[in-house]
């Protein structure tokens, strides 16, 4: 079955739980279920169809719902990012996607909520009582159809001048299950292929292609209609899958709210990870 999904968790669900070359650890923190999958070698890559690296999945209630005060997803994302980020150096945050297409607007909306500080003079920051601010740059590079430039080319050009110690990439993802749309956050250190989840894969953005560590963060916003239909037929025990030519993506009807709130969760989680000495309230005031 041709399953289209960006989630390592779902790829692992399709294979034997004891597949070689893959380690999995699950735990719960408040209302957030956290799964950490490590693809250790080529055998693991072949088993789950994901590059060697670490994939952290954080699951909870629908993000479009009013988030409770004890929702732990933002803190979980922030803590996981702290483990993956280098301790020093400028961080480049890039929000991928097309802001004119709602399910694909997660990256640009998240980037707009990032506290960019690279331009702030150190003396000025100290005068304002912000002497511990980390150097951060944020961009929304757009999409190839609008710019005529591959995203990896734009990022490489910026890296050559800004010289960040790591890049954080935010992008909308595809899931195989409707239940994971707007409820799940994935973090990985293996990079990303923009558009792969919707069958429009572009050039890879990873440490191999840009020369610095790449941390990818995303939320599933679409399900491929063929994948969903095949999945439902398997559950019902039917053997004849539909043709793989439906050419449609399914997204929640409240996708605009999902994008607004998910981008808010991610941007604040990233800000908290990059500026741990500051409270969320102080960061909100600065932004």
So what's the pLDDT on residue 61?
A: 83
Write down the pLDDT at residue 241: 54
Q: What is the mean pLDDT of residues 112-127?
A: 84
Inter-residue contact 107 to 172 (CB < 8 Å):
yes
Q: Is 212 helix (H, G, I), strand (E, B) or coil?
A: coil
pTM over 0.85: yes
| Least confident window among 32-36, 112-116, 143-147, 224-228 | 224-228
Closest CA to 22 of 56, 45, 1: 45
Distance CA 37, CA 16 (A): 14
pLDDT of 204 higher than 80: yes
Residue of 87, 19, 32, 42 whose CA lies nearest to 63: 32
Q: Is the four-CA dihedral 254, 259, 264, 270 of positive or negative sign?
A: positive
What does the pLDDT look like over 232-270, one tens digit per residue? 776 666 655 555 555 788 998 999 999 999 999 999 999
- pLDDT band at residue 87 under the 50/70/90 scheme: very high
pLDDT tens for 173-198 read: 999 888 899 999 999 999 998 755 45
Confidence of residue 199 (pLDDT cuts 50, 70, 90): low
For the chain, give the mean pLDDT.
Answer: 87
Q: Looking at residue 201, what is its pLDDT?
A: 59
Give the pLDDT confidence of 7-27 residue by residue, as tens digits. Answer: 999 999 888 666 789 999 999
Domain assignments of the chain as residue spans, ordered by start: 86-286
pLDDT confidence of residue 243: 54
pLDDT digits (tens, 9 = 90+) for 128-168: 667 678 999 999 999 988 999 999 999 999 999 999 999 99
Predicted local confidence at residue 18, as pLDDT:
67
Max avg pLDDT among 2-6, 91-95, 196-200: 91-95
The pLDDT-based confidence of 123 (bands split at 50, 70, 90) is: confident
**What number is the average pLDDT over the span 103-124?**
91
CB distance 219 to 185 below 8 Å: yes
Q: Which residues contact 198 (CB under 8 A, 6 or more apart)?
A: 174, 222, 224, 249
DSSP-derived secondary structure letter, 241 = P
Q: Which residue has the tokens 């070359």?
A: 21
Is the CATH code 3.40.50.1450 the one for domain 86-286?
yes
Distance CA 145, CA 94 (A): 18
Q: What percent of the chain has pLDDT over 90?
A: 59
Q: For residues 74 and 16, which has the higher predicted lDDT (pLDDT)?
A: 74
- pLDDT for 67 equals 59
């Amino acid at each position: 079955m041709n399953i289209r999904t960006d989630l390592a968790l779902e790829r692992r669900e399709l294979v034997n739980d004891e597949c070689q070359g893959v380690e999995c650890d699950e735990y719960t923190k408040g209302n957030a279920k956290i799964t950490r999958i490590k693809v250790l070698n080529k055998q693991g890559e072949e088993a789950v169809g994901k590059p060697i690296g670490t994939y952290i999945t954080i699951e909870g209630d629908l993000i479009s719902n009013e988030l409770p005060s004890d929702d732990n997803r933002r803190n979980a994302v922030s803590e996981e990012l702290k483990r993956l980020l280098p301790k020093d150096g400028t961080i480049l945050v890039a929000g991928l996607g097309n802001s004119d297409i709602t399910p694909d607007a997660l990256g640009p909306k998240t980037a707009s909520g990032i506290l960019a500080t690279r331009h702030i003079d150190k003396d000025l920051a100290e005068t304002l009582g912000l002497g511990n601010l980390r150097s951060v740059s944020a961009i929304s590079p757009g999409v190839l159809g609008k710019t005529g430039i591959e995203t990896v080319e734009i990022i490489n050009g910026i890296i050559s001048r800004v010289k960040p110690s790591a890049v954080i990439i935010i992008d909308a993802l595809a899931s195989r299950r409707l239940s994971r749309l707007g409820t799940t956050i994935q973090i990985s250190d293996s990079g990303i292929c923009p558009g792969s989840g919707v069958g429009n894969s572009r050039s890879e953005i990873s440490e191999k292609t840009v020369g610095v560590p790449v941390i990818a963060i995303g939320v599933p916003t679409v399900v491929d209609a063929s994948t969903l239909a095949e999945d439902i037929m398997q559950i019902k025990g039917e053997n004849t899958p539909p043709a793989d030519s439906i050419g449609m993506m399914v997204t929640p009807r409240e996708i605009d709210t999902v994008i607004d709130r998910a981008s808010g969760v991610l941007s604040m989680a990233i800000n908290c990870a990059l500026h741990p000495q500051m409270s969320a309230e102080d960061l909100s005031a600065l932004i």
